[in-house]
Chain A
């Protein structure tokens, strides 16, 4: 029996909570916060919490350095100089809200609510909450700002939602509070770690160490990656593929599995939709062709296909390469279909479906309050019609373009939460800067004065971190639990949710009947028959999980067996896409810039550039100002094969230019044998808090790999080619 949420121990007051952001994170680790005189002295993993079992990653262990960081924003800041001059005046919340309200009302009167755009980034737990504010104001122009999300997890999620009915996760026993020891749990026989480094990224609702724990218990690993990852060193098979070709490999594996009759015929016959068309499509990807596209041996591909298909229990932990490619949605469909092909779904140690725990969608899914919009207002959303039909968001690039051109209508005001696009995810960093420079009012909510805030912010609102606020865990389908406030907010910070409520109530009290975030959580949980304060005492509430829910009628709202899809089946052919006139089957398309698609460009830029490799300790553009973590990662790193570096006269630790037809940036060379010779891998998210804000907004363009990345999403508006473009490299000469 776990202890209550607070107790005294050795002169400390201990508060039990969950570290569900900020700073940014995609997980929900249980923490114990040790307080003296109301101040946080230290933070530890909660040994009783099933999610992280007492462990914590470096980011949480360095939490105090974020919470009490001297650079924290402590009150709302109003710009008093020109944009970019970094001259600010601290103001009260009332003054800040009055200022924003007046400006927004003026914009809405003149241009309509559609001229206000609302962006969420990734990191803090605003996904599910931010959207209600624009909808309450009558604007449908809400999205993940500048492709955050839309080329990062959303394509994979959507592919699963359309074809399986819900997202899936690899089963590492995380649905069970007794974890690996649960009698119903079995470890996977094989797990494919595909384009991800889960021990570094701790991706959405998945802790990387869970996979190490299943390895200890017998799971064999297959790794697919252009880089020799830690997993590659432990793998039975390793396919070192060319970046951007993952969809071709997924289709090639499927073709082998079908042609050799290794697929799960019983599952496909009983639960599959559109299998014949899918099998026909796969025939277009014979192994020799795929081997050539991907740059790996045909025999190795065959061996992987057989190992995966013959395993009694297998699953695929697929990462960003399926989102960060131009046709991200169809690449994600290609890997999704592999789950169904071998029937490795809803069984112990396979791909398991995750639904919002206890029906509380706000902890995870965007779209809350979409029904507040009239049909006319919905029609003002910007973007590709397929994208608009499939989501409650607008298409990020359509908004960016409208900001620049005023077409089809101008964007005059921007509101951003947990979004630092110039430093982080915004493809074509200069375009993002120009777009945001073209508005009348940019409201930015963040923990620190980010480079984006310095460059284009007009008013910056200070957000709380997890220890300073109440909340709900989210972004995972396993359990519900509280964030319990431990310390007084530093300065005058407020939770993101409180800021949304305060602003929302100034325009639409019916949409925001609550005065505080806690009242909102009480209401959201009460709607599902859960008392928020009981939850706080209980600490964590797990669902009554069982396997094979599609057979038991536990997935569909009508209680019938099957999957919660349009057909009720596992859709190898995605019927909803068919309705939109979009190819319902997966396909491979060469990256827009590649040795194959643009041979002339390849002559000038003879290396494939892949970006965004995750490292432990840094969450996207955050944590550069945390001393203990910065010691571990002092510089932006570009990995180059040792032989290639030698040919270029580059030594380990040299600063180099990475350049292509779109732009250039400089990073520090790291020589390694563990990368394909034709590939360099560059870090993202870099800015330099130690540089003056006036020195190029903390040097945000200097090492910015998005100077080299175009803003060209795929045909459905999802995806963008972050993982595969072209570049050349050369040494930075003195003084540059």
Chain B
């Protein structure tokens, strides 16, 4: 079976939590349960600049929205991500996207 992954271009993740609520709705999770979670780095100074980033990391509740994907739709977190920075797919495809700084790739369970 192909290995799947979750890719985040976290240069542009604003930490808006839309992905979490989208996941909860799609998978009928309660408000405490989620297939991915927003995490924060900073703010702290790095030389003359500030680092202040968010990223998302998957949890074991991630279903990859396989039912949606089979119907030709994007996973709910991917579609609703306000800044379009999340992708879920086969790991070999996602590896090719690691072309810039502030990018992350998780292998999914």
Min CB gap B48→A, angstroms: 9
B92 within 8 A of A: no
Question: Using a CB-CB cutoff of 8 Å, which residues 4-35 of chain B contact chain A?
Answer: 11-12, 14-18, 20-22, 24-26, 31-32
Our pick among B18, B24, B45 for the contact of A55 (Cβ within 8 Å) is B18
A405 within 8 A of B: no
Min CB gap A655→B, angstroms: 22
A617 within 8 A of B: yes
B106 within 8 A of A: no
Question: Using a CB-CB cutoff of 8 Å, which residues 628-653 of chain A contact chain B?
Answer: 628-632
CA distance A57 to B83 in the complex (A): 10
Chain B residues with CB below 8 A from A45, complex form: 79-80
Which residue, of A61, A200, A213, has the highest number of chain B Cβ atoms within 10 A? A61
Interface size on A, residues (CB 8 A): 41
Question: Contacts A47-B79, A674-B52: A57 and B16 contacting too (C-beta < 8 A)?
Answer: yes
- A216→B12 contact, CB < 8 A: yes
CA distance A238 to B21 in the complex (A): 32
Min CB gap B7→A, angstroms: 15
- B44→A673 contact, CB < 8 A: yes
CA distance A45 to B81 in the complex (A): 10
B51 within 8 A of A: yes
- A212→B22 contact, CB < 8 A: no
Question: Using a CB-CB cutoff of 8 Å, which residues 205-238 of chain A contact chain B?
Answer: 207-209, 212-213, 215-216, 228-230, 232-234, 238
B47 within 8 A of A: no
Chain A residues with CB below 8 A from B21, complex form: 58, 61-62, 617, 628-629
A679 within 8 A of B: no
Question: Contacts A233-B53, A238-B50: A209 and B82 contacting too (C-beta < 8 A)?
Answer: yes
- A212→B83 contact, CB < 8 A: yes
Our pick among B14, B22, B24, B54 for the contact of A56 (Cβ within 8 Å) is B22
Chain A residues with CB below 8 A from B54, complex form: 230
Q: Mark A32-73, 1 if CB is under 8 A from B, else 0.
A: 000000000011110100000011111001101000000000
Chain A residue nearest to B38 (CB atoms) is A632
CA distance A199 to B71 in the complex (A): 30
Our pick among B16, B24, B50 for the contact of A228 (Cβ within 8 Å) is B50
Chain A residues with CB below 8 A from B45, complex form: 673
CA distance A56 to B78 in the complex (A): 11
Our pick among A43, A62, A209, A230 for the contact of B15 (Cβ within 8 Å) is A230
Min CB gap B73→A, angstroms: 9
Question: Contacts A58-B18, A230-B54, A632-B17: A199 and B82 contacting too (C-beta < 8 A)?
Answer: yes
CA distance A477 to B53 in the complex (A): 33
Question: How many A-B residue pairs lie within 8 Å, measured between CB atoms?
Answer: 105
- A61→B25 contact, CB < 8 A: yes
A10 within 8 A of B: yes
- A233→B18 contact, CB < 8 A: no
- A209→B17 contact, CB < 8 A: no
CA distance A200 to B22 in the complex (A): 17
Our pick among B32, B51, B83 for the contact of A233 (Cβ within 8 Å) is B51
CA distance A10 to B21 in the complex (A): 22
Chain B residues with CB below 8 A from A630, complex form: 31
- A56→B80 contact, CB < 8 A: yes
Chain A residues with CB below 8 A from B80, complex form: 44-45, 54-56, 61
Chain A residue nearest to B28 (CB atoms) is A42
CA distance A228 to B42 in the complex (A): 10
- B43→A228 contact, CB < 8 A: yes
Q: Mark A615-633, 1 if CB is under 8 A from B, else 0.
A: 0110000000001111110
Chain B residues with CB below 8 A from A632, complex form: 17, 20
CA distance A354 to B30 in the complex (A): 42
A672 within 8 A of B: yes
CA distance A617 to B50 in the complex (A): 25
CA distance A54 to B51 in the complex (A): 30
- B76→A674 contact, CB < 8 A: no
- A54→B43 contact, CB < 8 A: no
Q: Mark B57-81, 1 if CB is under 8 A from A, else 0.
A: 0000000000000010000100111
Chain A residue nearest to B43 (CB atoms) is A674
- A616→B12 contact, CB < 8 A: no
- B18→A230 contact, CB < 8 A: no
Question: Contacts A42-B26, A230-B14: A55 and B84 contacting too (C-beta < 8 A)?
Answer: yes
Q: Mark A288-312, 1 if CB is under 8 A from B, else 0.
A: 0000000000000000000000000
B49 within 8 A of A: yes
Chain A residue nearest to B81 (CB atoms) is A55
- A209→B20 contact, CB < 8 A: no
- B83→A213 contact, CB < 8 A: yes
CA distance A58 to B53 in the complex (A): 19
Chain B residue nearest to A45 (CB atoms) is B80
Question: Contacts A54-B79, A674-B43: A42 and B17 contacting too (C-beta < 8 A)?
Answer: no
Chain B residue nearest to A232 (CB atoms) is B50
Min CB gap B20→A, angstroms: 7
Chain B residues with CB below 8 A from A58, complex form: 16-18, 20-21
Question: Using a CB-CB cutoff of 8 Å, which residues 662-677 of chain A contact chain B?
Answer: 672-674
Q: Mark A1-42, 1 if CB is under 8 A from B, else 0.
A: 000000000100000000000000000000000000000001
Chain A residues with CB below 8 A from B24, complex form: 628
Min CB gap B16→A, angstroms: 4
CA distance A228 to B46 in the complex (A): 13
Chain B residues with CB below 8 A from A208, complex form: 14, 82
- B50→A199 contact, CB < 8 A: no
CA distance A331 to B20 in the complex (A): 38
Chain B residues with CB below 8 A from A673, complex form: 42-45
- B43→A55 contact, CB < 8 A: no
Chain B residue nearest to A42 (CB atoms) is B25
Min CB gap A646→B, angstroms: 16
Min CB gap B85→A, angstroms: 9
CA distance A54 to B83 in the complex (A): 11
- A212→B17 contact, CB < 8 A: no
Chain A residues with CB below 8 A from B12, complex form: 212, 215-216
CA distance A711 to B94 in the complex (A): 55
Min CB gap B87→A, angstroms: 14
Q: Mark A309-346, 1 if CB is under 8 A from B, else 0.
A: 00000000000000000000000000000000000000
- B22→A616 contact, CB < 8 A: no
- B83→A10 contact, CB < 8 A: no
A-B contact pairs, 28 of them (CB 8 A): A42-B25, A44-B76, A44-B79, A45-B79, A55-B79, A55-B80, A55-B81, A199-B16, A199-B82, A209-B14, A209-B84, A212-B14, A213-B83, A228-B52, A232-B52, A233-B43, A233-B51, A616-B17, A628-B20, A628-B21, A628-B31, A631-B32, A632-B17, A632-B20, A673-B42, A673-B44, A673-B45, A674-B52
| Apart from the given pairs A61-B25, A232-B50, 16 other A-B contacts in the complex at a CB distance below 8 Å | A44-B80, A45-B80, A55-B79, A55-B82, A61-B18, A199-B14, A199-B16, A209-B82, A209-B84, A228-B43, A230-B54, A233-B43, A233-B53, A628-B31, A673-B43, A673-B45
The 6 closest A-B pairs by CB, nearest first: A233-B52, A674-B43, A199-B14, A61-B21, A627-B31, A628-B31
Question: B-contacting residues of A (Cβ < 8 Å)?
Answer: 10, 42-45, 47, 54-58, 61-62, 64, 199-200, 207-209, 212-213, 215-216, 228-230, 232-234, 238, 616-617, 627-632, 672-674
